[in-house]
Amino acid sequence: MNHSFDALIIGAGQAGPSLAGRLTAAGWTVGFVERKNFGGTCVNTGCTPTKAMIASAKAAHTLRQATNYGLPPAGDFTVDLAQVVARKDAIVAASRASLEKWLTQMPGCTVFRGTARFLSPTTMQVDDAVLEAKHIFLNVGGRPAIPALPGIDQLPFLTSSTILALEELPTHLIIVGAGAVGLEFAQLFRRLGSQVTIVERSPRLLPHDDEDVAAAVADILTSEGITLRLGAECISMALEDGQPVVHVSCEEDPSSSRGSHLLLAMGRQPNTDDLDLAKAGLQADARGYLPVDEELRTTVPGIWALGDCNGRGAFTHTAYNDFEIVAANLLNHEQRRVSDRLPVSAIYVDPPFAKVGLTEAEVRAAGTPALIGKRPMTKVGRAVEKGETKGFIKVLVHAETDQILGASIVGVGGDEAIHCIITAKYAQQTAAFMRRNVFIHPTVSELIPTVFGELKPLETAVQ
Ligand SMILES: Cc1cc2nc3c(=O)[nH]c(=O)nc-3n(C[C@H](O)[C@H](O)[C@H](O)COP(=O)(O)OP(=O)(O)OC[C@H]3O[C@@H](n4cnc5c(N)ncnc54)[C@H](O)[C@@H]3O)c2cc1C
Ligand SMILES: NC(=O)c1ccc[n+]([C@@H]2O[C@H](COP(=O)([O-])OP(=O)(O)OC[C@H]3O[C@@H](n4cnc5c(N)ncnc54)[C@H](O)[C@@H]3O)[C@@H](O)[C@H]2O)c1
């Protein structure tokens, strides 16, 4: 059957549903296609389930730390993973259901369930339905990448999606890949009671971030008993005596990591390979991303790509910002651009690592005249009171213009506290502006004006 709309939106991830809301409110008719779970990665297999389980892991960790807070010991306890997963599933289900209800009841929006494939630049097929529109918005996201490592086809492995359904704790979880996925799952499962080993080919954690950040995150993890096997050359896998074994060296290696479960956390792959792109005249790049311009238009007029599939962001906030850019430009005739947004992100190890703008290494490499301010969390009153003193606050400022170049916070509350720096930087404010601000006591944020008041020339600062 043929259906005609003003717009087609493919994928109910972080950009598509909100775009449907804006377009239909403006009087457009929308055909919306989702093949699996409403809410996409973030709601179903990404942010929401991991942060829900991280909260359970934090509670378990705090119980074990009871005596540090002057409380009686909690005693030995074993976590029932099924209960933790049930709590997580309830949170995910509520979020997914609310989104599905909103979309399916949205006036002007018709939802199709199935995989959409191009027939031409203006038509797509979903099962036996042919959908036609002058505007097509692809929000197809991605899935865990499975690199062809030697031996990988010889043994069972988990991905960031399938690990969320485990109901029994792994006795020893081996994680290959130390990006956000690897680090968050490592601490989460360690705190729930698993032994955890991370295998990473890079010689240190977080190679795109500063060395002091990587060292602080490594300390957070190793102090809880997580084993790091960094600089792993020639990663290969095998099943030995029924157990997954990860070899980490090109040499005959007696110190391979043997565990009960294996999690592959080696990045993601965009879902562009089954869209029949060629029929629309589209071509993905070598990594599968759809090239887009600053306003997220693909190379074919009338087709946009939003979210993870365009390679311009890999976060929920970047996917959502893509929606805002497209809606503002199409409906309000603004000229918002992808490059207007600041690079911001957080990794939810506990305490978390959050950042905005340039790293210290990037500032040094650019040769920008800069000032640096840094304060350990041991000198942040709120962190001391909470008994969580790992990490630091670090800010970078242009030595001549006084503008904020970047900031990193590894430490308790850092994922929230960073936002005062994000806002000031977006407003192109200066260190002097930050110093004059009065923040609430006692918070982690209240020390941020102090850090901006203790700046030293970058060249002479000790890392
Ligand atoms: C474990 C994990 C934790 C994460 N934690 C965070 C976090 O804390 N903070 C953060 O900002 N980001 C986090 N992310 C990243 C975040 O989830 C993604 O960046 C975000 O979900 C991308 O959204 P999207 O809209 O681009 O795509 P997705 O959310 O992936 O949605 C794409 C949708 O399109 C559908 N689809 C695909 N192809 C078709 C087709 N041909 N036809 C019909 N439907 C189709 C899919 O089924 C899916 O529902 C995490 C990711 C993972 C894996
Ligand atoms: N808190 C958050 O915002 C959050 C949390 C989880 C995931 N995410 C997003 O999800 C995406 C996926 O995360 P991820 O951690 O899987 O990817 P990633 O790209 O961040 O990290 C992948 C890691 O695997 C290693 N690796 C990749 N290929 C390899 C190979 N062939 N052999 C050996 N090592 C290899 C890399 O060195 C890297 O350390 C990212 O875009 C991330 O931003 C975000």
- 275-288 pLDDT per residue, tens: 999 999 999 999 99
Centroid of chain to Cα 360: 21
State how many domains the chain has. 3
Residues 68 and 136 in one domain: yes
CATH number of the CATH domain containing 80: 3.50.50.60
Residues 131 and 273 in one domain: yes
The binding site for NAD(+) comprises 177-184, 200, 267
pLDDT at 459: 78
CA of 42 to the centre of ligand 1 (A): 5
Mean pLDDT of the chain: 96
Boundary of a domain, candidates 266, 294, 318? 266
pLDDT at 206: 96
Residue 247 among the catalytic residues = no
pLDDT at 252: 64
- pLDDT, tens digit, 9 for 90 and up, residues 224-249: 999 999 999 889 999 998 999 998 87
Ligand nearest the Cα atom of residue 118: 1
Segment 192-218 shows an average pLDDT of 96
**Does residue 301 surpass a pLDDT of 70?**
yes
Give the residue numbers spanning the domain of 243: 152-266
Three-state secondary-structure class, residue 106: coil
CATH number of the CATH domain containing 395: 3.30.390.30
Q: pTM here?
A: 0.97
**Does residue 262 surpass a pLDDT of 70?**
yes
**Probe ligand 1: pick from 124, 316, 317, 322, max atoms within 8 Å of CB?**
316
State whether the beta carbon of 264 lies less than 6 angstroms from ligand 2.
no
pLDDT at 233: 85
Boundary of a domain, candidates 266, 284, 313? 266
- pLDDT, tens digit, 9 for 90 and up, residues 360-387: 999 999 999 999 999 999 999 999 999 9
State whether the beta carbon of 352 lies less than 6 angstroms from ligand 1.
no
Boundary of a domain, candidates 290, 308, 340? 340
Q: How far apart are CA 461 and CA 71, in angstroms?
A: 41
Per annotation, catalytic residue among 3, 247, 333, 441: 441
Which residues make Cβ contacts (< 8 Å) with residue 444, sequence separation at least 6? 377, 380, 382, 383, 393, 409, 411, 412, 413, 414, 416, 417
Residue from 392, 386, 444 nearest 68 by CA: 386
- pLDDT, tens digit, 9 for 90 and up, residues 128-137: 999 999 999 9
458 belongs to a structural domain: no
- pLDDT, tens digit, 9 for 90 and up, residues 27-84: 999 999 999 999 999 999 999 999 999 999 999 999 999 999 999 999 999 999 999 9
pLDDT at 256: 84
Q: How confident is the model at residue 250 (pLDDT cuts 50, 70, 90)?
A: confident
Calculate the CA dihedral of residues 42, 43, 45, 46 and round it to 10 degrees.
30
